[in-house]
Amino acid sequence: MTAQVKIISGKYRGTTITNTVFPMLRPVVQGAKGDFITVDASEKLGAKYSKIRIMVDDYEYVGEEVKIERKETDEQIIKRIEERFEILDEMTRATVNGDVRAMIVTGPPGVGKSFGVERELEKSGLLDDMVGRPRKYEVVKGAMTPIGLYCKLYEYSDKNNVLVFDDCDSVLMDDLSLNILKAALDSSKRRTIHWNADSHKLRNEGVPNSFDFKGSVIFITNVKFDNVRSLKLKDHLEALMSRCHYLDLTLDTMRDKYLRIKQIARSGGLFTSYGLDKQQENEIIDFMKTNQTRLREMSLRMAIKLADLRRMSPNRWQGIAENTCMKSR
């Protein structure tokens, strides 16, 4: 008897497959784009599909002959993901304290990279708020010119100041900006940045043509540095990476992303401002699991959108979500 596998949720070349049993040719393997199982789909799809790979989010083995256990339970995955994001929290605190000079945090959108960094920064700024001092950090989002970067680094050049560039990828894709950042994050004891050109902006804002940078920098980005094709930029980025701690928070599968959302919700950090009880929060999380193959994205942002709809229309939010948050059937 050939071992069989039930694909609870998966995809083959863009086609969604749910609750379908196939003869299994090879157990689950982790690939670059996620987990896949090799099956014989000839009975259901035709002779030429006798050996295909199906990307799987959820599955179970069927039949007595199968001795393979699933690699991880949901709780094991949650614990693994939680430990990785705890490293992010710890590294952020070290950056605030000046023990870490720079950090690059990369990963897909909507998994909580910014959430974790900003939460730790806000904790660090509570004392400044209490005594009426300006906070020693700033989160920069959007585009930034090289001279704008130079001025912003000067503004936060003191010790224990932190600049966060959150999806501000223009500074990572520009030669001049990268040279400025390399100088700011150099491994030498004294990090001096120069602007060797005449500038009205510097004169008007009282910014000197050179200064010592003693602060720290965090980059939060969806950019995979290894995928940058420009050789010139690649050299710059490699030099920047050598000056920074690099934390990759990639979540490879839909299951991982869903469980990350569940983990944050369970910790009480996701729906705080919505006044939902646990049952109502679980309704949103369960809705995301049930509809994971149809949601436009599996992310914290999607969870917040659903919470917005639930607050707006407690009795009809699921129907509204069907039309605003999900792909057409």
Choose among 226, 186, 222: nearest CA to 102. 186
Domain membership of residue 329 (yes or no) is: no
Lowest mean pLDDT among 21-25, 95-99, 126-130, 196-200: 126-130
Q: What tokens does 230 get?
A: 């420009």
- Residue 109 maps to which CATH number? 3.40.50
Q: Decide if 124 contacts 96 (C-beta within 8 A).
A: yes
Q: What is the mean pLDDT of the chain?
A: 90
174: in domain: yes
Q: Is the residue at 23 inside a domain? A: yes
Judged by DSSP in three states, 295 sits in strand
**At residue 226, does pLDDT exceed 90?**
no
Q: How many domains does the chain have?
A: 3
Asked, for residue 48, whether it belongs to a domain, the answer is yes
Of 196, 214, 248, the residue at which a domain comes to its end is 248
> Has residue 165 got a pLDDT over 70?
yes
pLDDT of residue 125: 86
Over 80: is that where the pLDDT of 33 sits? no
The answer for residues whose C-beta is within 8 angstroms of residue 184's C-beta and 6 or more apart is: 153, 191, 193, 213, 217
Q: Residue 305 belongs to what domain range? A: 254-324
> Does residue 316 sit in the same domain as residue 296?
yes
Whether the CB-CB separation of 222 and 166 falls below 8 Å is answered with: no
With contact defined as beta carbons under 8 Å apart, do 225 and 82 qualify? no
pLDDT-derived band at 36 (thresholds 50, 70, 90) equals confident
Let me know whether 20 and 106 are in one domain: no
157, part of any domain: yes
Q: Is 300 found in the same domain as 185?
A: no
Tell how many helices (H) and how many strands (E) occur in the chain.
12, 11
- Are residue 219 and residue 274 in the same domain, yes or no? no
Q: Residue 94 corresponds to which tokens in the numbers above? A: 């070290």
E strands of the chain, at which residues?
Answer: 4-12, 15-31, 34-39, 52-62, 102-106, 137-141, 162-166, 192-194, 210-212, 216-221, 245-248
Q: Tell me if residue 76 falls in helix, strand or coil.
A: helix
- State both tokens at 86: 């705890």
pLDDT digits (tens, 9 = 90+) for 46-68: 888 999 999 998 888 886 444 44
